[in-house]
Amino acid sequence: MFAPFYAAIADISATIRRHRDRLGRPVIGVLPAYFPLELIHAAGGYPVQLWGAGVAIDHAEAYLQPYCCSVARSVLELEMRGSAGLIQAYVFTSLCDTLINLRELYRRLFDKPILGLSFPVTQFAEGRRAFLADAAEKIIKGLEAVTGRRVSADALRAAAGQFGRVRSLQRELYRLRRERPGAIKNADFHAVLKAGFFLPVDEYGRLLEDLLVRLESIAAPAGRRPRLILSGMVFDPLEAQRLFDEVGADVVDDDFASGWRTVSKATLPVDDPVEGIATHVFGGAPCCCIHHPEKDRHDYLVKKIRDAGADGVVFWYVKFCEPDAFDRPQLLARLKQEGIPATVLEMDLSMKSVESLRTRIQAFCEMIGGLEI
């Protein structure tokens, strides 16, 4: 059932090349997070999402210090070692200080077009609007220059429909996972999400529809295993996601930037592109990287845990990610207050072995109780 998704991520370059050749669209690499991919598609591009990779850092060492996160380091590594040759242009957002500087570094290092969309941080709708009006115009022009095609209203509407549909199918998958714990293996679930980073929207949508049909009759296994929620920026490394299956715990929901925080975004409103971008960036689940005083991450996470009937939270911490790290102590305190067990796993996308995480996950699940031993 999951084979096409695993196939897509087994050789990512081959997947991208095949679809690029089929579609004749230039491949545009998108760095984390929340850039409306719809704009790229509407401009005739083929967006692929770069959330980091499990590669050893060698070339990138020259420009990114060891205290930079492995998301940034691994993406740079791919370009520097020549593994990102398919990517014709990059798109950045202003998610964090590292990415803001990385965008500048790319402009100095590479000849490819480096585009960016900075997010306004003000709470005031008017200010946001004024800022985004300029920013939207620039990014659209930039994309058009890369693809040589205009972003028409019709193309944007069509793209919004396609990407909106994909996200709503993904939400369906999330619902199944929540309602039938254990029915979908954690590794499989994340393989499906990860395939979506690289497959074009038409193909991915088809595969998702097909998968959901097949999953319709699938039932949750009998018995109750520990139910967990994962929270962090990226759900990679994928091999580590398999550990939950092996330990015998059910991940029932998540709070990943590369997962639900993106999947939760509604269909892009297109009548007013500026308003559309604002809705896209600030709508959906809260994120540690998006300042939003009206969206409290604490209440949100507690509610999410209760709604999913989860027993505990695993913080999936990619080392050196400050936005994630700042929020955690207070979040942990709140969870403690609510009587919700939580643990923190530190990782690095380039880690050679995920085995050290296994013992931690096992110990946490034992603490929660309900493991079949």
Partner 1 sequence: MTQLGAFKKMKELMTLYYIEAKTAADKPVAWLTSGAPVEFVYAMGAVPVYPENYAAMCAASHQSVALMEAAEAAGFSQDICAYARTDFGQDLVRGGPAGGLPAPHFLVCSTNICKTVIKWYEVVARKYQVPLFVVDTPFLHDGLTPGLVDYVVAQFRQLERFLESMLKKPFDRDRLIEVIRLSRQATGLWRKILDLGRTVPVPFTSLDAFIHIAPIVTLRGTPACVDYYQLLYDEVSGLAERRVGSVSDERYRVLWDNLPIWFKMRPFEKFFGERRCALVAATYANSWGGLEDFAGIQTRDAMEALAVSYLNIYINYGFAQRIRYLARLIDEFGLTGFIMHSNRSCKPYSVGMYRLKEELSRLTGKPGVVIEADQNDPRVFGDAQVEARLDTFIESMAPAA
List 23, 86, 130, 183, residue binding partner 1 (CB under 8 A): 130
Per DSSP, helices labelled H in the chain are 3-10, 12-23, 37-42, 70-80, 97-109, 125-147, 153-179, 186-198, 201-215, 238-247, 260-263, 273-282, 297-308, 322-337, 355-368
User: Which listed option, partner 1, ligand SF4, none, makes contact with residue 329 (CB within 5 to 8 Å by class)?
Assistant: partner 1
Which position among 23, 215, 220, 332 is part of the footprint of partner 1 (CB under 8 A)? 332
Asked if the bond preceding 249 is cis, omega within 30° of 0, the reply is no
Supply the minimum distance, in Å, between the C-beta of residue 89 and ligand SF4. 19
Q: Retrieve residue 232's tokens.
A: 């962090």
Cβ partners under 8 Å of residue 210, min gap 6: none
Residue 333's CB is within 10 A of a number of other CB atoms, namely 11
Of residues 117 and 173, the one with the C-beta less far from ligand SF4:
117
Q: Is 126 near partner 1 (CB under 8 A)? A: yes
Find, among 43, 44, 38, 46, the residue nearest to 16 by Cα: 46
Sign (positive or negative) of CA dihedral 199, 82, 350, 106:
negative
Which of residues 272, 322, 355, 366 is near partner 1 by CB under 8 A? 322
Q: Based on the shown chain and the rule CB under 8 A, indicate whether residue 98 belongs to the binding site for partner 1.
A: yes
Choice between 67 and 124, CB closer to ligand SF4:
67
By a kind-dependent CB cut-off of 5 to 8 A, residue 32 interacts, out of partner 1, ligand SF4, none, with ligand SF4
Please tell me the distance from the alpha carbon of residue 177 to that of residue 181, in angstroms, as a whole number. Answer: 6
The entry of ligand SF4, partner 1, none near residue 116 (CB within 5 to 8 angstroms by kind) is: partner 1
| Residue 340 binding: pick among ligand SF4, partner 1, none (C-beta 5-8 Å cut-off by kind) | none
* Residues binding ligand SF4 (CB under 6 A): 32, 69, 71-72, 95-96, 98-99, 233, 289, 318, 321, 323-324
Query: Rule CB under 8 A: which of 275-314 touch partner 1?
Result: 288, 291, 293
